[in-house]
Amino acid sequence: MYDESGSTGKVFPKPEISEVNFEDILQTNIYNVMLNRRSQRKFEEKQVEDWKMDIIFAAADTAPTAGGFQGFEIFYVKNRNTKEKLVEASNNQPYVNSPIVLVFCMNPERVKMKFPVEIIKKFSLQDATLAASYAQLAAHSLGLSSVWIGMIDETKVREAIKTDLVPSSILCIGYPRKILHPKPKRSLTDLIKTIE
């Protein structure tokens, strides 16, 4: 990014600074998004704007992937009957029939690396998972809420969206009926295991 004065000086990234102000870091947009995101299972019957979906898809597109090959596909489900089939494929979780339903699938054939098949599949699963998490954070930053669906019958999901690709997760997105506050998390001293 360049400044608006027409010069070639970059605005971002900013020049290195000698001291880190952790308060500033914690107040950056990405940290606020991560700290305040909460899974939401009740959505308003309100359409999500196309421009917001464009940003969500662009965020998923920026996720890191193995070798940069993007070993995943996103199925944007708009069809009501398909959504109902996905509800059934997700252990009858009714909120899968949400305003926005995205199915993230592994596509290991995109990963052009010389590794054993099981490693390529693992890369593809990681690619799809990272893309879904980037999409989820982007949705929250746009005033939307989401819930991650991992309990799925892979065969039923594949039949519902008519693909041979293996689904990794379903991301349900919409406007929240009410704002939920983040739940307490583990303390970092409990979470982090330091090996010296």
Extents of the domains making up the chain: 40-177
Comparison of pLDDT for 12 and 141, the residue scoring more: 141
pTM to 2 decimal places? 0.80
The Cα–Cα gap between 102 and 76 comes to: 5
Six token digits for residue 55 = 């940003």
Comparison of pLDDT for 28 and 89, the residue scoring more: 89
Q: Is the pLDDT of residue 104 over 90?
A: yes
Q: pLDDT value at position 34? A: 67
Six token digits for residue 37 = 């995101």
Comparison of pLDDT for 178 and 170, the residue scoring more: 170
Check if the beta carbon of residue 61 is closer than 8 Å to that of residue 89: no
Closest by Cα among 140, 157, 134 to 40: 140
Q: Is the pLDDT of residue 182 over 80?
A: no
What's the CATH fold of domain 40-177?
NADH Oxidase (3.40.109)
Q: Strands 100-106, 145-149: parallel, antiparallel or unpaired by DSSP?
A: unpaired
Comparison of pLDDT for 125 and 181, the residue scoring more: 125
Burial class (CB in 10 A: 0-12, 13-18, 19+), 167: buried
Q: Is the pLDDT of residue 101 over 80?
A: yes
Check if the beta carbon of residue 72 is closer than 8 Å to that of residue 168: yes
Q: Is the pLDDT of residue 132 over 50?
A: yes
Q: Is the pLDDT of residue 7 over 70?
A: no
